[in-house]
């Protein structure tokens, strides 16, 4: 990420978001399933740095 955006990363925090249970009623009956879990990363940049996502639009 540092090379791609040209910034300095100060800190990276991660969190695992648990999958949710999903239920649906159909003609065939009650269907239950589960959405997959996923991991989030929160990246803190060095003081005074930012990423402009709309610069190339």
Kindly report, residue by residue over 3-25, the tens digit of the pLDDT: 988 899 999 999 999 999 999 99
* pLDDT score, position 20: 95
Contact present, 51 and 28 (Cβ < 8 Å): no
* pLDDT score, position 53: 84
17 or 55: whose pLDDT is higher? 17
Q: Which of 3, 5, 13, 12 is nearest to 49 (CA)?
A: 5
* pLDDT score, position 55: 79
Contact present, 48 and 4 (Cβ < 8 Å): no
Residue range 11-40: average pLDDT? 94
């Amino acid at each position: 990420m540092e090379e791609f955006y040209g910034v300095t990363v100060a800190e990276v925090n991660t969190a695992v978001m648990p999958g949710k249970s999903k239920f649906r009623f159909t003609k065939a009956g009650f269907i239950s399933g589960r959405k997959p879990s996923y991991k989030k990363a929160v990246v803190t940049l060095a003081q005074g740095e930012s990423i402009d996502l709309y610069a190339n639009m």
